[in-house]
Amino acid sequence: MAHSDTPITDTQRELIPHVLTNRPVAYWRRSCLDIVFPDRWLPYFMNKYRSGFRAILKKLSDFRLVLVFTPVTIGLTIAFVLVACVIGSRSFGSTPVTGTPVVDTGNGVGRLPFMGYNTWNAYYCNINETLIQETAGYMKLLGLLDVGYNYMNIDDCYSEKKRSPSGDIVASKEKFPSGMRALTDRLHTMGFKTGIYSDSGWFTCQLYPGSYMNEDRDIKLFREDWGFDLLKYDNCAVPYDEVIKEGMVGKFTRMSKAIKRQSERSGKPPILFSLCQWGRQQPWLWAKQLGQTWRTTDDIGRRELAFSYEHHKQARNSFIASVSDFYGHNDMDILEIGNGDLTYEEAKSHFTAWALMKSPLLISTDLSKITEQTLSILKNKEIIAINQDPVVGTSITPFRWGVNPDWTSNRTHPAVFWSGQSQNGTVFMLLNVLDAPADLSFTLVESPWMRAGRQYSVRDLWTHTDNGTAVRNFTARAVPPHGVVALLMRDAGDEPEGTMPPCAIEEWCMGEDGTKVDPHIN
């Protein structure tokens, strides 16, 4: 497949003002009761029970139910629905249905890794409301919102250096003259959710006001007054021990409790809480009790060093990848795709690792200069589908390190062979961590998710092609330096009869009569 480095066109840029003034309408279901009958029963049922049926409709108009009537079960179904309505009214109120119900830990916030845009890697402190609105316009125009990047997150440096006389954080009058509420209202109208930044210490990392000892005040400001949906919460300006008298868990717990109080007081879902603790004190062990995502490493680093930092992050996260699941995600930091000197193959590896390890996916590059090649990476729907899998929340994990012995921590040569589950099959990621092309081979049942004695269809998630069937083994040929192969394998039935040897992995392989296959067994 050819990839173009051509930036977006002037015609596309001219569309930005129209995108910014767009006012999409949200259509909510007005009638929540759908009735399905066999055709031959509908006239009889409606004529015989018309008055009673209208009364039921009136009583059930606030509930989201789909009733399916069959000739055999009409009576039972009506009774069941009436009971379900009473229970449902107590459990769900009249919130509109937006999809298939899922098992929820309480509020639905942060079930899947969030996707969107963050200002930091692209612009650092050089932000303002015009830039953010234009960036949101590009997100819509380029189709990034359509594939799931629905958060617009403002990082550090958005406020004045001092709080107001009443104690509130004040948005910079120069950078955000219209105010934060006007900005979030506009972004929400465009179809985005919005994120804001603060710090668990006295100050942010750029020495703007932090939230320590102002947690309740600040979360009310962020959530209710300014209308933000996500809070990135950093780890700078830590108070003296004699002041804080808390460990790292306690420091972040302060804001977590404030978020819970604000949610209970307002009666609305809590803000999504994204902890930025840099992995110093193993947040993967405790942060899920407080929020929905947690940083596992330092910042991704300067752009020219991005790929070495990616390997470092992959090496670190290979030991903790199994922690990620619904409502709790290891955060590997903002994407560097579109920045610095990453090659096309390196950018693909970067995106694949972040997505398949179920990290949040945050773009942070100048979208007015983005190339079609970079967009093709960020908009890979098959890779995104794994990250956003509604059925399987767990990350891929390594099953063989490759270059190094298994369980080796090496920041330049992380694990090569990874696999994990998905709703549609087993996912594989093969990383070439070398500086030259390499063949990458593995036995299927090295992955714990594959079944012995079966063959598997092979889907390439980057070429978007179906590549035949794998039996026992698979080899990816000539994977480019620092490149990646991403595969989805589906069970295709029994392997061909007579496939030898009897076991794909010979260790302790033995016949029912005691015949030894493993040559190492005495």
Closest CA to 414 of 305, 319, 295, 303: 319
Are the C-beta atoms of residues 119 and 364 closer than 8 Å to each other?
A: yes
**Cα 323 from Cα 320, distance rounded (Å):** 6
Considering only CA atoms, give the Rg of the chain.
Answer: 27
Closest CA to 193 of 201, 184, 204: 184
**Cα 12 from Cα 230, distance rounded (Å):** 30
DSSP 75-108: HHHHHHHHHHHHHHHHHHTTPPP-S-----SSS-
Q: What are phi and psi of 403, to 5 degrees?
A: -65, -45
The neighbour count for residue 28, using CB atoms within 10 Å, is 9
Strand order in the sheet with 425-431: 397-400, 417-422, 425-431, 484-494, 454-460, 465-471
From the centroid of its chain, how far is CA 205?
25
Are the C-beta atoms of residues 320 and 284 closer than 8 Å to each other?
A: yes
**Cα 59 from Cα 77, distance rounded (Å):** 17
What is the DSSP code (8-state) at residue 67? Answer: E
**Cα 202 from Cα 238, distance rounded (Å):** 7
Closest CA to 491 of 396, 422, 423, 426: 426
CA-angle at 382, arms to 146 and 119, nearest 5°: 50
Residue with tokens 């560097």: 336
Q: What are phi and psi of 2, to 5 degrees?
A: -80, 150
**Cα 155 from Cα 198, distance rounded (Å):** 8
DSSP 119-134: SHHHHTT---HHHHHH
From 168, 216, 298, 299, the catalytic residue: 299
Residue with tokens 């954080």: 169
Q: Is the peptide bond before 519 cis (omega within 30 degrees of 0)?
A: no
**Cα 232 from Cα 349, distance rounded (Å):** 26
What is the DSSP code (8-state) at residue 24? Answer: P
**Cα 337 from Cα 306, distance rounded (Å):** 9
Q: Examine the residue annotation and report whether 234 is marked as an active-site residue of this protein.
A: yes
From 234, 331, 333, 389, the catalytic residue: 234
**Cα 148 from Cα 2, distance rounded (Å):** 24
Using N-to-C axis directions, what is the helix angle for 74-92 and 50-60, rounded to 10°?
20
Q: Examine the residue annotation and report whether 241 is marked as an active-site residue of this protein.
A: no
Write out the catalytic residue numbers. Answer: 234, 299
